[in-house]
Structure 1
Amino acid sequence: MTAPLHDARRGTSAARLPDTQQSMRRRNLSRVMHTVAAHGPLSRAAVASRIGLTRAAVSTLVDELIRSGLLAELGPERPGKVGRPGSALAVSARGPVGIGAEVGVDHLAVCAVDLRGETRARAVRPARNRGRAAVPVLEELSLLVDRVCAEARQAGLSPAGLAVAVPGLVARDTRTVVRAPNLGWHDIDLTPLLSTDLPLTVDNEANFGALAELWLGEESPEDFLHVSAEIGIGAALVVDGQVLRGAHGFAGELGHMPVRPQGAPCPCGGRGCLEQYAGEEAVLRAAGLDPGEDRVGLLAERADAGDKAVRKALRGAGTALGIALTGAVNLLDPRAVVLGGALSRLAPWLLPAVEEELKERTAGRACGVTVSRLGPDGPLLGAAHSVARAVLDDPAAISRAE
């Protein structure tokens, strides 16, 4: 079992090392962990070859990571290799896990992801959160977090932290939701409202969705614009593998970009915002359908069956989304646009109009639009993986609990 605290008394006398040696050791521990996580099982010799350290140096690092419960030895490598077989190393199946949580307009979700990237526990609850006070919503979320953490601990895992994805603006380097129009929240600090002792991170759901696409997507570039489209529409720009957050942490509010300046009023206070024409509820209204439990599923079913009203509504949504994306593409010049979130299931009927608008309106070279395979799970997975990857980035902060 592991604990999310580093005990400097254990392992090497790292606390007595000079800062430069301490920093180098921490970086090398991280390099070993990332290498085994990405390419394992590997022998010590294979790890040393990949990261350019001596086998002796790698063995010392590996021994420390094994003592900390982060790596495990699987036994001799597969037969057939020349020379004496080394012991294969893998990321431990009984180490830390990242806990990710999501507050959606119509649901709450929590999952636990281990250092191998596998989801080990998950809980989802439908919830009508629009207009609800933050306190009861976060009380329900805390219960789900407790359930997932208990399930993880029963499997010999140790929660290393909690990251919460919310559909709103989060002040940079804080846990405060400044504004979430689709929830009706303003200036809500989640810290005292979540009953957890875990280290806490809060971020916009589109940012976590973009990180999930970067880490888990198929051949995602290092530079792309990720669109998370559901009831609300958010976006995140990834540049050189990092999310561009803006001066206050508010970058990416694509859903509140006006596409019809004198159009329908929006909960944000503006008029003609993209969400009023391309969000789930807007498409349902345009198609003349009543909201149900599986709104996107209903739209996809009707569109696939050739329902003219639904297809017209989806084309209108695609046109509005294409107009908004054109402004973003002209300003930011991303290498690609990735459509995620629940509306990614409607891509066959949305994309033709999106691509048409991009082709006609983009000043330079129009970038391609792809569809995320993560769909609506992106923000939740991105939140959980952000905690797990923080352990890989600094494994020295984790030690075996006494």
Structure 2
Amino acid sequence: MTETPRSPVQHNGIRHVDTRTASQTGMRRQNLAVVLGTVAAHAELSRADVAGHTGLTRAAVSSLVDELIAAELVREGPMTSSGRAGRPGRTLALNDSGPAGFGLEIGVGHLGACVVDLRGEVRVWRRVERANAHRDPANVLAALADLAAAARSEAELLGLRPQSPMLSVPGLPGPGMLTHAPNLGWHDVPIATLWPGPDTPTLENEANLGALAELWAAHAPTNFLHVSAEAGIGAALIIDGRLYRGSRGYAGELGHMPVHPNGPRCTCGSRGCLELYANQEAVLHAAGLPEPTATDPVTALTDHIRAEHPGALDAIERAGDALGIALAGAIGLFDPAAVILGGAYAELGPWLLPRIRSQLETRLTVRPFDPETVTASPLGRRGPILGAALHTIQRILRNPASLG
């Protein structure tokens, strides 16, 4: 006689769930993630290979693989011989269609949308240069929703199913709200209420997402400090492969670390903050360059540096010195394995890095320090939006059952 699963029952008004059923469900979800992670980590595995890597039985692996194929997370390839006795098996790989990560971005000077497949490959990329600072948030979100809709349509033509998006923002997010974004001039903006399209995005800070992109896409070490810049300067600390947020979520405010305590007054109220010397506006002003309207500011600056414009060279050296001073304190406190320059700093790395490293060699004298561990990101300015799109992929890989 086959035992039927037990259903929840009531005792004294309290609902009791059969813990054996819950345990079996949890174990199956865990095994789904193990199998999917094994397929993601290796090329051209058969079901028998997956069983060998995971220690699960072939029957269990076969059932789990069928479930992952039905969810369009895994696809089967051609037959292959493993060299062992028995019939050949089909190779398994992450599906290059089906569920996909969807990242959106609001920058001070641009909007962006990005779709990546389960392998982390960028399949759709859209960026529009647009001045967003001090604009009506509803107007900016309407433009971003249009860009998101166009990116989603393009992805669907490729056979992809973008999941709910994550939105990279240059400020401090809260639940459904952008609490504080001084470089946009926005405060307490209810993104969830104002969003005009379907699938209201989840918000995350751009510096945090840039750091996570380094971890997931650029294979950074599991302990590093990520520093990036656009209109402001943000930092994010990865410890043992996890993002460190601080006790209240405010970790990473490197831009308002004083580097010259008697320097000019900052918009934050303090004096001599790093942003006064090393953010985009400060460097352009020091270089004697107006904020360009048609040309990307970073491109304009690099063009002047390559032309050996004296003002541009002096400005970038001043920024590098200020960054070196700020980073010396951060490195001394946290002892990261590496420091990675992202955002605009990644493109300005050839000129910033010598000054930063020189400052660090001078100031970090208590313990050994290798200045070569300070590098420019290979992701350039794409980090935050890539991190937003890859965040969904990581969630799926960790918990395939979350797709429902």
TM-score of the superposed pair, with normalisation by structure 1 = 0.90
The separation in 2 between residues aligned to 1:259 and 1:175, in whole angstroms, is 34
The alpha carbon displacement at 1:244 in A equals: 0.3
Query: Structure 2: which amino acid aligns with 1:67?
Result: A
Equivalent residue, structure 1, for 2:191: 190
The alpha carbon displacement at 1:200 in A equals: 3.2
The superposition leaves residues 274-301 of structure 1 with CA deviations (integer Å, 9 ceiling, x where unpaired) of 1111112211111111222222222222
* Range with bigger deviation, 104-113 or 340-349: 340-349
Equivalent residue, structure 2, for 1:353: 355
Q: Structure 2 matches for 1:97-116, cutoff 5 A?
A: 97-116=100-119
Structure 1 counterpart of 2:386, from 381, 386, 398: 381
The alpha carbon displacement at 1:65 in A equals: 0.8
Secondary structure at the counterpart of residue 328 of structure 1: helix
The superposition leaves residues 137-183 of structure 1 with CA deviations (integer Å, 9 ceiling, x where unpaired) of 11111111111112222222212221011111124xx2322211110
Equivalent residue, structure 2, for 1:164: 167
Structure 1 counterpart of 2:49, from 46, 51, 54: 46
Equivalent residue, structure 1, for 2:317: 315
> Is 1:396 matched up with 2:401?
yes
The superposition leaves residues 96-129 of structure 1 with CA deviations (integer Å, 9 ceiling, x where unpaired) of 1111011100000011111111112122111111
Unmatched 5+ stretches in structure 2: 1-17
Equivalent residue, structure 1, for 2:284: 284
The separation in 2 between residues aligned to 1:69 and 1:149, in whole angstroms, is 18
Contact 1:98/1:159 (8 A) holds in 2: yes
The alpha carbon displacement at 1:17 in A equals: 6.3
Equivalent residue, structure 2, for 1:3: none
The separation in 1 between residues aligned to 2:349 and 2:283, in whole angstroms, is 13
Contact 1:99/1:111 (8 A) holds in 2: yes
The alpha carbon displacement at 1:82 in A equals: 4.9
Equivalent residue, structure 1, for 2:3: none
Equivalent residue, structure 2, for 1:27: 30
Contact 2:120/2:217 (8 A) holds in 1: no
Contact 1:280/1:343 (8 A) holds in 2: no
* Range with bigger deviation, 272-281 or 38-47: 38-47
The separation in 1 between residues aligned to 2:105 and 2:303, in whole angstroms, is 27
Equivalent residue, structure 1, for 2:95: 92
Structure 2 counterpart of 1:127, from 113, 127, 130: 130
Q: 1:80 to 1:33 in 2, by over 3 A?
A: closer
Contact 1:258/1:271 (8 A) holds in 2: yes
The separation in 2 between residues aligned to 1:268 and 1:48, in whole angstroms, is 57
Unmatched 5+ stretches in structure 1: 1-14
Q: 1:199 to 1:71 in 2, by over 3 A?
A: farther
Q: Structure 2 matches for 1:242-391, cutoff 5 A?
A: 242-292=242-292, 293-362=295-364, 363-366=366-369, 368-391=373-396
Q: Structure 2 matches for 1:176-215, cutoff 5 A?
A: 176-198=177-199, 200-215=201-216
Contact 1:170/1:249 (8 A) holds in 2: no
The alpha carbon displacement at 1:324 in A equals: 1.0
Q: Structure 2 matches for 1:58-73, cutoff 5 A?
A: 58-73=61-76
Contact 2:82/2:88 (8 A) holds in 1: no
Equivalent residue, structure 1, for 2:120: 117
Equivalent residue, structure 1, for 2:239: 239
The superposition leaves residues 238-277 of structure 1 with CA deviations (integer Å, 9 ceiling, x where unpaired) of 0010100112222101112121233333333433221111
The alpha carbon displacement at 1:16 in A equals: 9.8
Contact 1:182/1:267 (8 A) holds in 2: no
Q: CA RMSD in A?
A: 1.9
Q: State how many pairs are aligned.
A: 381
The alpha carbon displacement at 1:306 in A equals: 2.7
The superposition leaves residues 24-46 of structure 1 with CA deviations (integer Å, 9 ceiling, x where unpaired) of 21111112112212323321122
* Range with bigger deviation, 342-351 or 17-26: 17-26
Contact 2:178/2:188 (8 A) holds in 1: yes
Contact 2:192/2:200 (8 A) holds in 1: no
Q: 1:255 to 1:137 in 2, by over 3 A?
A: same
Q: 1:49 to 1:249 in 2, by over 3 A?
A: same
Aligned residues with identical type, % of pairs: 49
Greater relative contact order (Cα < 8 A, sep 6+) = 1
Equivalent residue, structure 1, for 2:5: none
Q: 1:199 to 1:87 in 2, by over 3 A?
A: farther
